[in-house]
Each structure stands twice: as C-alpha cells, then as structure tokens.
Amino acid sequence: MDHRLSEDQLLDFADNGFLVLPDVLGPADVEALAEEAEALYGTEAPGRVFEADGSTVRAVHGCHQAPGPYADLVRDRRLLVPARQIVGGDVYVHQSKINAKRAISGDVWPWHQDFTFWNREDGMAEPRVVNVAVLLDGATEHNGPLLFIPGSHRTADALHAVNGAEDTADKSWRSHLAAKLEYTVDRETVTRLTAAGGIVSATGGPGSLLFFDSRIVHGSSSNMSPHDRRMAIFTYNSVDNAPSGGALPRPEFLAARDHSPLQVAL
C-alpha cells in the first residue's frame, strides 16, 4: 500500500495546519507501543518529567533514540512517507516524546506554538518541520484531546504574541515542558485567532495519526476522565534545517544531535 498523502489531504493540511488519519496502526502495534510507554514511564531518566504533584508522570522524551518499538516506529512508512512529503525531502527526528495525560491528574498544556521553542531554544531556523502524533489511547472530548485553532499556523503575528511566563520558577528546559510554559500565546491573540478559525478537538481511536504544523496554535485541557490519553509525538525536521545549536544547547533528549536522514524501514 502506498502511504503517500493525497493532493486533497495535503491541501487540507496546508489550509488547516493539521490532519487526522484515523486507525492507521492496528491493535497489536498500539499494544506494543503502550507497553513500552509504561516501561519508560516507570524508569528513572533525565527526560522523564512529572506533573506539579511530583508523582504523576507527565511525559518521557527521547524514546526514538534507543533501540525498540519507537526507534522502529519513526522509520515506519506510515509515518515517514507522509512526513517527508510535508517537509519536502530527507528528514530526521529532532524530538520525540510520549505525553501521558494521565486519567484524572493529567494537567493542561496552555496555548502555544511548538516552533517558538525549537527556534528560540534550539536554534532551528525555519519551520521546515512537522509533528506526527500517534494516539496510544483513544482521544475523546473528555480526556484532554489536543485542541487546534485551524489556520493559526498561517498567522505569522501569533509568533510574536509569545510571552514568557515570568513566574516560571525554573528557567531551564523544564519550563518548556511544564503546565506553566515559558512561551505561550496570549489571551488577546487566542481570542482573535479563534474568532477566525474556531477550535477543533483532535479526537480519534487508538492507532490514529495526527499531523500538525509546528506553528499551529494548540494546547489541551486537563484530563477529568478516568481514562489516560497517552500520545507519542515525533518532530520530523528537514535535514537541511538542522539547528546549529544555541549557546546553551538543550539536552539531547529534547534536541537530537544525530541529523542523519531516516530511511524507510523495509
């Protein structure tokens, strides 16, 4: 089967800034990924971060950098072929994470744009980069689905609406991953953008793929439901857009140092 996106799907992505492909990975694949996610959530590692309660896991980072199901997944043609199409050429994974959004206690991700972090913190020059998310659990209206503002990736001015959350105690990379984010899109900009584009919940069953532009304004509410909303996200960057590395490069689990082009797994 050819896993290339159709012209209509590419137009849809370019217009809205995101695209949902339902039920791409089957139950066996998803089960293996979920099992590995739980193993990583339970393992002490620098890229494992917790919610403000200090005990609920919020996310793990760098899962593609060790041999295993996630290193295989980033080369899977169902992800890599569309990612190459969208970016336009050879890609590598700049960052991987598995956000847990745990039942009842998974906290908010305020409105933000991902490119702001990679541009300002990692020295990534251009938004020649795409996020590909894999739902490990179903995302419903009730367990904190990703929220997108359609079309907001095309409003360059949103990029200048970021404001450091002055009260972030820890100005290190932890404030780039916490519920109190260092760079957010302010209320006035969110109000203006949603007046134009509305808000869409990216719901879907386990194994669904979400492609989203690095500049789309997005976020997610806390999870009030008794069901996790685990989601793996891979940031495929053009090999021609690899960061030169800022003065203080972030850890490798946030900004990959291996920029070699990914080959589709046979």
Contact set with Fe ion (CB under 5 A): 114
Would you say 114 or 228 has its CB closer to Fe ion? 114
From candidates 117, 211, 234, 236, binder to ligand 6CS by CB under 6 A: 117
Rule CB under 6 A: is residue 95 a binding residue for ligand 6CS? Answer: yes
Choosing from 112, 153, 229, 230, the residue that interacts with ligand 6CS (CB under 6 A) is 112
In whole angstroms, how close is the CB of 96 to ligand 6CS at the nearest point? 9
- Which of 135, 101, 98, 148 lies closest to 210 in space, CA to CA? 135
The C-alpha angle 143, 100, 40, rounded to 5 degrees, equals 155
Kindly tell me which of 26 and 46 has the beta carbon lying closer to ligand 6CS.
46
Both structure tokens of 227: 């069901």
148 contributes a contact to ligand 6CS by CB under 6 A: no
Q: Which residue is nearest to ligand 6CS (CB)?
A: 176
Q: Out of 181, 190, 210, 217, which residue is the one contacting ligand 6CS (CB under 6 A)?
A: 181
Distance CA 113, CA 115 (A): 6
Question: d(Cα 202, Cα 145) in Å, to the nearest integer?
Answer: 6
Q: Whole-number minimum distance, CB 28 to ligand 6CS, in Å? A: 28
The Cα 128–Cα 134 span in angstroms is 20
220 near ligand 6CS, judged by CB under 6 A: no
At 230, the amino acid letter reads R
Task: Give Dmax over CA atoms of the chain in angstroms.
Answer: 50
| 51 vs 114, beta carbon nearer ligand 6CS | 114
Sites for ligand 6CS among residues 186-215 (CB under 6 A)? none
Residue nearest to Fe ion (CB): 114
Collapsing DSSP to helix, strand or coil, 79 comes out as: helix
Enclosing H/E stretch for 59: strand 57-61
- Both tokens of residue 232? 């793996």
Count of residues engaged in binding ligand 6CS, rule: CB under 6 A: 10
* Gap between the Cα atoms of 201 and 92, Å rounded: 28
* Contact partner, 19, from Fe ion, ligand 6CS, none, Cβ < 5-8 Å per class: none
* Chosen from Fe ion, ligand 6CS, none, partner binding at 176 (C-beta under 5 to 8 Å by type): ligand 6CS
Q: Does 176 bind ligand 6CS (CB under 6 A)?
A: yes
Judged by CB, which is closer to ligand 6CS: 162, or 254?
Answer: 254
3-state secondary structure 153-213: HHCHHHHCCEEECCCCCCCCHHHHCCCCCCEEECHHHHHHHHHHHCCEEECECCCCEEEEE
Residues that bind ligand 6CS (CB under 6 A): 95, 97, 112, 114, 117-118, 176-177, 181, 254
